[in-house]
Structure 1
Amino acid sequence: MKASRSEFLAVRGLRYHVRHWGDADAPKLFMLHGWMDVSASFQFVVDCLQKDWHVIAPDWRGFGLTERAHADTYWFADYIGDLDAILDHYAPGEAIRLVGHSMGANVSTSYAGVRPDRIARLVNLEGVGMAASRSEQAPRRIEKWLDELRAPPTMRSYASQAEVAARLQKTNPRLTDARAAFLSGHWAGETSPGNWEILGDPAHKGISPHLYRLDEVLACWARITAPTLYIEATETDMGRWMGAKDSARLEIDRRIATIPNVTTRMVENAGHMLHHDQPEVLARMIEDFLG
């Protein structure tokens, strides 16, 4: 495995953990992980990159080794604000190459439309947004949020790192033993002898009182000027909340088509965690696109 190094910096009042691979003088490549994941999740893709890159990957607020938010709720706009601050720190005034997976792809794709001049090339790994909300859903949604403030979500613990690895493989049966063992040491930590806890704030599991306004999201995507590569796995389950398979396919395609200069690719024999399932194929696609 290619060696990584950790750095901690202040980002909007939080102590942020940022993972680096490669020489600091090499071309920069930023990578953003998904929900309930960590920056080390990109290790396998980084190992397969053929060119020399300085890969910069933060742990989002409340994930991995980054400090948790000083609030009961995580607001999506804060991820965009954090990304803006991180780019200003590492690449002030530069148009950067940006790769995001799942939640990280949703953040990066919205950001690319908000600050189009900051992105040179964008790679979106299965970041197609969430189910569109309707205004009439607001009262019950806020009510549920209030209920969760009284009884906050919790995370289960594990008796060993091996149990954590088994949990990862239950979620993704394609994950090899070696990769599960590696990820488990970054995805969770031993807080006391025989007690392993996920390095993620349980508050992430709570509902947001804000509705997901799809029209606002797509308005951001429509402003993207950077060439964009959208990559999807053939065996993904990310569209299950969009309804039947055929209707989900149409909705995903409609959303991605909002991006002006987009190319789509498919990765065979992979699920939603395609960067774990087919890192060699994915690395090749990314580098071919980045030129």
Structure 2
Amino acid sequence: MYQVLRPSHSTFETLRGVRLHLRHWGQPQAQQPPVLLLHGWMDVSASWQFVVDALRTPRLCIAPDWRGFGLSTAAHLDVAHAPPPYGLGDHYLFADYLGDLDALIERVNQRLGRALDAPVDLVGHSMGGNVAMLYAGVRPQRVRRLVNLEGFGLPATDPAQAPRHLARWLDELAALRRGDIVLKTYRGRHGVAQRLMKTNRRLPPERALWLAQHWARPTDPTQPDGEWVILGDVAHKVRGSQPYRLDEVLAIWAAIEAPVLAVQASDDSLAQWFPRGEHSLAEYHRRLQVVRHCRIAHVNDAGHMLHHDQPQRVAELIEQHLA
């Protein structure tokens, strides 16, 4: 199995009524802000381990499990003993990730003896990259530099689509209540690793086995070779209730003051997700033009999980940009 070079330690912080799990690497460095690493949808904070191990210069890195992922959940639930799914409700609002990040930055700064609004560096992957971009536009004074790994945003919606969008959201809530929306289970840690490698053909077995123990857990702790379930609330599979309002997103991106590095993999994930052209890399590049200080970098021989496929290259790009 993968051998960790820089072990992490965990803490828990209750923010906005949610018990968030935080993974920490390194120690505070003089004249350097902490780096917050923001994972993507149906992922966990441990996903950053390979990149942290590849950093040449140690930095204080802190990665939360977003609400309802990993070991983060509602404050009144103990995820160490409560069987999944461990829900915060029947759906999630994207704005809550911004609220959680805002409160987290204040708490991290408080713990480090910094001013509550002292700027930090943000690195986000996929959903985490989208959160980071929005946050940097809403709270520009709190972000020094930003690295966005494949946080492409979503296809633009038309206001006329709102009735159908909300109707489909209600239908999915009903399906969740009926138990029609579920998370798959896998046989043992090796079964979880096989699932990860099926999604990502470049993921080596030793990394997949290491990730499996953080990405999922046995439904019965006394049967480690039995069924394992993903550490994520099934309610995350319900679509968001709000349409993607591109005009609002672009207005927020235009307010970003921090230098932004937008990193994309050689595999075109958008072409796979939206084969009918609802969203594309060309459209994403057009959107990035509203960001005042932005450059684009590419990672070869990598897919959407580029921080797993090429952690050394991703770490190099992060270090260059944060320097």
Aligned equivalents of 1:265, 1:148: Cα separation in 2: 37
Native 8 Å contact 1:236 1:270 kept in 2: no
Amino acid at match of 1:78: D
Report the Cα distance in structure 2 between the residues aligned to 1:186 and 1:247, rounded to whole angstroms: 32
- How far apart, CA to CA, are the structure 2 residues paired with 1:250 and 1:158? 38
How much does 1:239 deviate? 4.2
1:32-58 per-position Cα deviation (integer Å, ceiling 9, x unaligned): 000010000000000000112110000
Please report how far the alpha carbon of residue 240 of structure 1 lies from its aligned counterpart in structure 2 after TM superposition: 3.6
What are the superposed Cα offsets for residues 15-40 of structure 1, whole Å, 9 maximum, x if unpaired? 11000011245641110000010000
Q: Is the 8 A contact 2:270 2:280 kept in 1?
A: no
Are 1:256 and 2:256 counterparts?
A: no
SS state at 1:221 partner: helix
Question: Which of the numbers 35, 57, 73 marks the counterpart of 2:41?
Answer: 35
Q: Matches of residues 53-64 of structure 1 in structure 2 within 5 Å?
A: 53-64=59-70
Distance 1:107 1:246, change over 3 A: closer
**1:165 and 2:166 matched:** no
Q: 1: distance between equivalents of 2:63 and 2:219?
A: 24
CA contact (8 A) 1:12 1:82 kept: yes
Partner of 1:177: 205
1:190 to 204, 208, 218: 218
Distance in 2, matches of 1:221 and 1:36, equals 25
TM-score (normalised: structure 1): 0.96
Which one is further off, 235-244 or 56-65? Answer: 235-244
Deviations 1:211-270 (A, max 9, x none): 111111111000001111111111131344455679823201101222110011100100
Q: Assess, with a 3 A threshold, how the Cα gap between structure 1 residues 223 and 242 changes in structure 2: closer, same or farther.
A: farther
- Name the structure 2 match of 1:8: 12
Say whether the 8 Å CA contact 1:238–1:272 is kept in structure 2.
no
Deviation at 1:140, TM superposition (A): 2.0
Cα distance in 1, alignment partners of residues 266 and 277 from structure 2? 12
Correspondence for 2:134 among 86, 110, 127 = 110
What's the secondary structure of 2:105's corresponding residue? helix
Give the Cα–Cα distance (whole angstroms) in 1 for the partners of residues 130 and 262 of structure 2.
11
Normalised by the size of structure 2, how large is the TM-score?
A: 0.87
Matched AA of 2:242: H
Distance of 2:62 and 2:189 partners within structure 1: 26
**In structure 2, what is the Cα distance between the partners aligned to 1:139 and 1:246?**
19
Which shows bigger deviation, 25-34 or 112-121? 25-34
Q: Using the alignment, how far apart are the partners of 1:79 and 1:100 within structure 2?
A: 12
What's the counterpart of residue 99 of structure 2? 81
CA contact (8 A) 2:270 2:281 kept: no
Question: Structure 1 residue 71: deviation in Å?
Answer: 2.1
Aligned-partner SS, 1:20: strand
Structure 2: unaligned runs, 5 residues or longer? 75-86, 110-115
Q: Which of the residues 291, 296, 304 maps onto 1:272?
A: 304
1:245–1:74: structure 2 CA closer, same or farther, 3 Å change rule?
closer
Following the alignment from structure 2 to structure 1, what is the Cα–Cα distance between the partners of residues 39 and 95?
16
Paired residues of 1:162 and 1:181 also in contact (CA < 8 A): yes
Match of 1:56, SS?
strand
> Secondary structure of 1:151's partner?
helix
| Corresponding residue pairs, total | 291
- Residue from 93, 96, 99 that aligns with 2:120: 96
Instruction: Tell me, in whole angstroms, the C-alpha distance in 2 between the residues paired with 1:73 and 1:158.
Output: 24
State whether residues 156 and 245 of structure 2, in contact with CA within 8 Å, keep that contact through their aligned partners in structure 1.
yes
Gaps of 5+ in 1: none
Q: Is the 8 A contact 2:155 2:278 kept in 1?
A: no
C-alpha distance in structure 1 between counterparts of 2:288 and 2:62, whole Å? 26
Tell me, yes or no, if the aligned pair for 1:39 and 1:64 is still in contact at 8 Å: yes
**Aligned 8 A contact 2:89 2:235 in 1:** no
Q: What is the CA RMSD across the aligned residues, in angstroms?
A: 1.6
1:128-152: per-residue Cα shift (whole Å, max 9, x none)?
Answer: 1011111222222222222222221
Query: In structure 1, which of residues 221, 229, 236 is the aligned counterpart of residue 268 of structure 2?
Result: 236
Residue 89 to residue 214, structure 1, CA distance change in 2 (3 Å): same
